Amino acid sequence: MEYRVLAVLLAYLLDLVFGDPQWSWHPVRIIGRLIAKSEIPLYKSRFNKRLSGFLLVILVIGITVIGVFLILKISRLIHAYLYSITYVLLIYFALAAKSLAAEAGKVYKALRKNDIIQARKSLSMIVARDTEALEEPQVIRATVETVAESTMDGIISPLFYVFLGGPVLLWAYKAINTLDSMVGYRDDKYMFFGRAAAKIDAIANFIPAKITCFFLLIAGYCCGKYRRNSWLWLRRYFFKGKEYNSEATEAVMASALGIRLGGINFYNSIQARKNFIGDDTYPLKITHIKESIRIAYVASGLCLAMSILFVFLTGGR
């Protein structure tokens, strides 16, 4: 376990320095291509859409787990140093702290320049909702919501699973998360086909979402953004089911910043309404994007530090 702690720490530092590498052989892109190629024949198969979607989930997770296991096994057979490097890189490729900050930062910079068109384009790279008609407050809201949710599924969930089961379990989670992002929609095409992907993603993020809420709460306090109502919003969503994972993290972020999130979004021109979250103490401002990024960074650092402390206090058990 001490070996894993050192590997996670090195991977986290690599992510802070270099961010997520943008190249075609990135493991997430490989999984994405696997999903895209497997989806077509399964969707057109004679099976009903729910069963086809379930088979897609099993296929993608199975190939990912076997692939990561074999990569680690082969690298260990070749040389211990190669195994160590591979182990660290597999963790590094799964973390997205700097990339999250960079992508949200692009929206922030565009808004600072009063370039709403570029802000919408930058936002469209990190959200699934329609962005073409969004005004500045809606762009800010969408960005802060994404930072809150991505703190969970892009940083803290990967940390949770790598400490729990190493790179193999970590990449099983990343496969689940990628499946959800590609087919886990409630539109006409994926309503039934993507249901298995959406449900397993919700289950996989259930515990990490609760952990994320606590670290966002503490991070808000560390950043001078703690408010009494933060606990009220945490309690309101903490005991709700797995379908409220993202809303729970957004609630804590909103309460820390004193803003209101949620409302009406459009996905492929189809309206979707989310509950309003937060107290609406302050109007949405560009600076809230910067503040949410800082809180996300602090939350991820606190999660890493507490995980390492827990490992050593428990003797690696």
What pLDDT was estimated at residue 316? Answer: 60
Can you give the pLDDT at residue 164? 94
User: What confidence score (pLDDT) does residue 128 get?
Assistant: 86
DSSP-assigned letter for residue 95? -
3-state secondary structure of 127: coil
Of 117, 132, 143, the residue nearest 286 (C-alpha)? 143
Structure tokens given for 55: 């088979």
Q: Per-residue pLDDT tens, the chain, 317 aa: give them.
A: 678 899 999 999 999 999 988 888 999 999 999 999 999 999 988 889 999 999 999 999 999 999 999 999 999 999 999 999 999 999 999 999 999 999 999 999 999 999 999 999 999 999 988 999 999 999 999 999 999 999 999 999 999 999 999 999 999 999 999 999 999 887 778 889 999 999 999 999 999 999 999 999 999 999 988 667 778 888 888 888 888 899 999 999 999 999 999 999 988 788 888 889 988 889 999 999 999 999 999 999 999 999 998 888 877 65
Which pLDDT belongs to residue 2?
Answer: 76
Extract the tokens encoding 157: 């969930």
- Residue 241 has a pLDDT of 80
Question: Running DSSP on this structure, what letter comes out for residue 240?
Answer: S
pLDDT in tens, 175-195: 999 999 999 887 778 889 999
The dihedral through the CA atoms of 160, 163, 168, 169 has a sign that is negative
CB-based contact 182:60 (threshold 8 Å)? no
Helices 2-18 & 157-183 angle (0-180, nearest 10): 60
**What per-residue confidence (pLDDT) applies to 317?**
57
DSSP H helical ranges for the chain: 2-18, 27-43, 49-78, 80-92, 97-112, 116-124, 136-151, 157-183, 195-222, 229-238, 245-257, 287-313
The overall pTM is greater than 0.85: yes
